[in-house]
Amino acid sequence: MSAALPDIAWHLLTGALASYRDQPRAAAAVRRELERFEEPLRIAVAGPPRAGKTTLLGELAARRGVIFTETPTIPVPDADALLYLTPHPGESVAYELADAQVSTLARATPVDTIVVLSRADEFGGGRVDGLGSARMIARRYQRHVALQQVCQAVVAASARIGYAGRTLTAPEHAALTSLAGRTREETERYLLSVDRFVDPQAPVPVDPAVRAGLVERLGLPGVRLALTLLRTGSATRDELSGQLVARSGLDDLRDAIGELFIEWRPVLKARSALIALDALVRAQPHPDGARLLAALDRALANGHELRELRLLAALRAGRTRLPISRTASSRSGAGSRVRPGGGGAADRRHRPGPGRPAGRGADRRAGMGGGRRRRRPLAGARRGPPAPPGPPPRGRRRGAQL
């Protein structure tokens, strides 16, 4: 049984620090990586202009132990994880992401990326069900063979709707309610275009300036959605607000970030450190270099946490399923969600058993292969004895293999 990835990474870094003590710059770089180990998880929010980065950043807000940064381009140096925003889904996203992963190690362990179909409210040509169809597309893309290999999840989210829903004011609610009070036939012609909706001549019971404000906040599809929600039972402000937030997909995104990134902070940190160390060793040749590279390679290939993480993503995406008896308990509430490194029944249940052959090929099968083979690690887990509780997130113990 190999040691935990964070321990291995820490050990490799301190070892590299000793090896590079005669090269001040390289040593400083290693020291920087060691410092980063202690720092909060850095999640970069990247995407083309007008993809909705800033709004999303505002909605994700600060979470403890996480720093979000906004950037127009990838790759993002110093980021442990990436939210890649794209207004339009497509295979080209996979190519962009693959191109951005410069190192082989990074490419072999694509556990740091979530693709976000931002501006999901504008899908479906602005129809009321735009958000719903965006969510379906995201779910389909999650199983797309090209996207699977570059990201952990595809989530549709509209930060605009989420923000507007969360901060819906009483006057806005009142205006929407009075609009919804009219019959569908009456309002329909004014909801055809923004021009018509904000037209001062339009005989609707809401002031044009307020209408313009609503469009500004929700967008025309958002207004259509809000009116539909009001007519179908979410009458109060709280209900409407809750519905808008729920439909915005932001909760899905937060869940994904929590389950795939934040809970795995030590592993993601260790991964970035190992990738950085790999780049450093390749750039600054050293007598110990070959040994370090081999150790790095082994660490990432054997790192069962990374395989676990890939498996977790596959489970989330529905690319694979747990046996029915396990599904109930593992899905019952946030408390028993799969957690990295730390002990807990749920964790042990997911961890591949010791008898399982480790290696790159196994890793690929676990995360990216066909559905039939993907179940094998689970079978192993079921047969094998429960793994001992994981070590603390970052200890100074010596890694067993090093």
Partner 1 sequence: MAPPWLDVLDETIHACAARGRRDLVRLLEDRRTRLLDPRLRVLVVGTRKQGKSQLVNAIVNAPACVVGDETGTTVPTVVQHAEKPSAVLVSGRADRTPVPVDEVGALALRRPVGGAAHLEVGLPRTLLRSGLVLVDMPPLDGAAEPGYAEAGLDGADAVLMVSDARREITRTELDFLVRAGRSCPQVLVVLTKIDLSQDWRRTAQRNREHLAEAGLPAHVLPVSADLRLRAAKTDDRALNAESGFAELVACLQQYAATKAERIAPHTAAAVTTRVLESLAEPLLAQRSAAAGQLEDLQRSLERLRRQSARWQNGLADDIADLASDVEYDLRDRTRRIIRTVDEFFDTADPAEVWDAFAPWLEENLRNAAEANFGWLVERSHWIAARIARDLAAYRADVLPDSTFWMPDQVFDSMSELERPSFGHFSLAQKLFTGLRGSYGGVVMFGLLTSLAGLPLINVVSIGAGAAFGEGGGTAAHRGLLPQVQQGVPGRGPAGAPGAARPLQRPARTAPGRAGRGGARRPAPVRRRRAPTGVRGPPAAVPPGPAGERAGAAGHRGVSERMRTNHGLSAPVPHDGGERSEVPS
Nearer to partner 1 by Cβ, of 20 and 84: the residue is 84
Q: Is the peptide bond before 75 cis (omega within 30 degrees of 0)?
A: yes
Sequence-ordered strand ranges (E) for 139-227: 153-156
CA dihedral angle for residue 283, residue 284, residue 285, residue 286, rounded to 10 degrees: -150
Q: Are 309 and 111 in contact (CB under 8 A)?
A: yes
Q: How far apart are the first and last CA of the chain?
A: 13
- d(CA 23, CA 69) in angstroms, rounded, equals 31
What pairs with residue 45 in β-bridges? 70, 83
Least distance between partner 1 and beta carbon 134 (Å)? 7
Least distance between partner 1 and beta carbon 150 (Å)? 15
Nearer to partner 1 by Cβ, of 125 and 355: the residue is 125
What are the DSSP calls for 225-263, one per residue? HHHHHHHTT--SHHHHHHHHHHHHTHHHHHHHHHHHTGG
- By CB under 8 A, which span of 147-155, 191-199, 252-260, 310-318 interacts with partner 1? 191-199
Among 216, 232, 332, 361, binds partner 1 (CB under 8 A): 216
State the residue for tokens 């790759």: 75
Least distance between partner 1 and beta carbon 170 (Å)? 24
Identify the CA nearest to 306 among candidates 83, 106, 109, 79: 109
Identify the CA nearest to 81 among candidates 53, 109, 43: 43
Among 36, 70, 75, 126, binds partner 1 (CB under 8 A): 126
Among 24, 77, 125, 205, binds partner 1 (CB under 8 A): 125
State the residue for tokens 């408390």: 335
| Residue 184 makes contact with partner 1 by CB under 8 A | no
Residue 38 to residues 112, 302, 394, Cα–Cα distance (Å): 18, 23, 9
Q: 202, exposed or middle or buried, with CB in 10 Å at 0-12, 13-18, 19+?
A: middle
| Residue 385 makes contact with partner 1 by CB under 8 A | no
# chain residues binding partner 1, by CB under 8 A:
30
Least distance between partner 1 and beta carbon 133 (Å)? 6
Nearer to partner 1 by Cβ, of 206 and 381: the residue is 206
Stretch 102-121 residues interacting with partner 1 (CB under 8 A): none
Among 6, 52, 110, 221, binds partner 1 (CB under 8 A): 221
Among 50, 331, 383, 397, binds partner 1 (CB under 8 A): 50
Nearer to partner 1 by Cβ, of 225 and 276: the residue is 225
Stretch 70-99 residues interacting with partner 1 (CB under 8 A): 87-92, 95
Least distance between partner 1 and beta carbon 112 (Å)? 24
Among 103, 133, 149, 177, binds partner 1 (CB under 8 A): 133
Least distance between partner 1 and beta carbon 366 (Å)? 28
| Residue 123 makes contact with partner 1 by CB under 8 A | yes
Which long-range contacts does 320-327 make (Cβ < 8 Å, 24+ apart)? Answer: 320/371, 320/374, 320/375, 320/378, 321/375, 322/378, 323/378, 323/382
| Residue 330 makes contact with partner 1 by CB under 8 A | no
Q: Are 138 and 154 in contact (CB under 8 A)?
A: yes
| Residue 155 makes contact with partner 1 by CB under 8 A | no
Q: Contact positions toward partner 1, by CB under 8 A? A: 49-50, 87-92, 95, 122-126, 133-134, 137, 140, 192-196, 198, 212, 215-216, 219-221
